[in-house]
Amino acid sequence: MANVYDFTVKDRKGENVSLKDYEGKVLLIVNTATGCGFTPHYEPLEAMYKDFRDKGFEILDFPCNQFANQAPGSEDEIHEFCTMKFGTEFPQFAKIDVNGDSADPLFVYLAKEIPFEGFGKGLKAGALKKFTDMNNKAFGDKAYIKWNFTKFLIDREGRVVARFEPTMDMDEVRNEVEKLL
């Protein structure tokens, strides 16, 4: 049976990184964008990282520009933005695609392990659904990830145990991370 440790990704300098390097840790894998309405998620993500990294927690940040071109910069520009504006210290990887024929295999795997079930209820969820439906038409059945800041929680054995859409309250994400630690 596959798990996240079977994947190799590129760091922001283009070097291969085996996710086996994170074996035994609780992981939160996130596709991000610097120009998104959910970009402020970097703040609670960094707070979680600071609070839990000594307990075996890592956040793996994968910038993606597939959602309304909200991550247009280079890897270095994105990294500088995140470190200067939000003080992020967690690992940031190379910019990737999460949908379509060019989707990174890691995100295809994650999304197939826990498929999209909706954004929840409320005004924000309804508005985002309309926007994502328009944006993701081009990807058809390969629209694996619906928007920026989709988060996947991985247990210490490399299994995908939860998916959090960007509309999920970050306190709930934190609570689920804490349960695994």
- Residue among 148, 154, 115, 159 nearest 29 (CA): 154
- Residue among 61, 163, 155 nearest 115 (CA): 163
CA angle 10, 13, 17 (to 5 degrees): 30
- Residue among 100, 90, 106 nearest 25 (CA): 90
At 11, which CATH number?
3.40.30.10
User: Which structural domain range is residue 155 located in?
Assistant: 4-180
The torsion region of residue 24 among left (phi > 0), alpha (psi -120 to 50) and beta comes to: left
Q: What is the pLDDT of residue 1?
A: 53
pTM of the complete model:
0.94
Q: Which one from 26, 36, 106, 168 is the annotated catalytic residue?
A: 36
**82 catalytic per annotation:** no
- b/e sequence 79-90, b meaning 16+ C-beta within 10 Å: bebbeeebebeb
- Residue among 90, 92, 98 nearest 65 (CA): 98
pLDDT along the chain (181 residues), means of 10: 90 96 98 93 97 98 94 92 95 96 97 92 79 81 93 98 96 97 97
Domain count, the chain: 1
